[in-house]
């Protein structure tokens, strides 16, 4: 267990950040899953910018790697364009 006040504060801060990051990462993964389920092209095109924005936000805050974000955006865009 930590003995310094600053170490105890750091533990509290890290716990709060971890929960925050976990929530946004999980909600983005759910949005991606929902986008992949959509079969209507018009609806998917409308939903895609929201998902891309969520992915960009995660990459900007270093919750996911920027290359992973780029790969996800590319694959999702390809998926939406392939819908008939």
Q: What is the pLDDT of residue 38?
A: 95
- The whole-number pLDDT of residue 34 equals 97
Q: Is the pLDDT of residue 2 over 90?
A: no
pLDDT in tens, 22-79: 999 999 999 999 999 999 999 999 999 999 999 999 999 999 999 999 999 999 999 9
Show the 3-state SS of 19-44. HHHHHHHHHHHHHHHHHHHCCCHHHH
Neighbours of 28 (CB within 10 A): 20
- pLDDT(80) > 90: yes
Residue 44 is predicted with a pLDDT of 96
Indicate whether 3 pLDDT > 90. Answer: no
């Amino acid at each position: 267990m930590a003995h310094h006040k600053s170490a105890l504060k750091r533990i509290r801060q890290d716990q709060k950040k971890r929960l925050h990051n976990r929530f946004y990462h999980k909600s983005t993964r759910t949005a991606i899953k929902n986008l992949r389920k959509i079969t209507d092209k018009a609806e998917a095109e409308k939903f895609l910018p929201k998902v891309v924005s969520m992915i960009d936000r995660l990459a900007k805050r270093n919750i996911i790697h920027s290359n992973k974000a780029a790969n996800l955006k590319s694959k999702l865009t390809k998926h939406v364009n392939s819908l008939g």
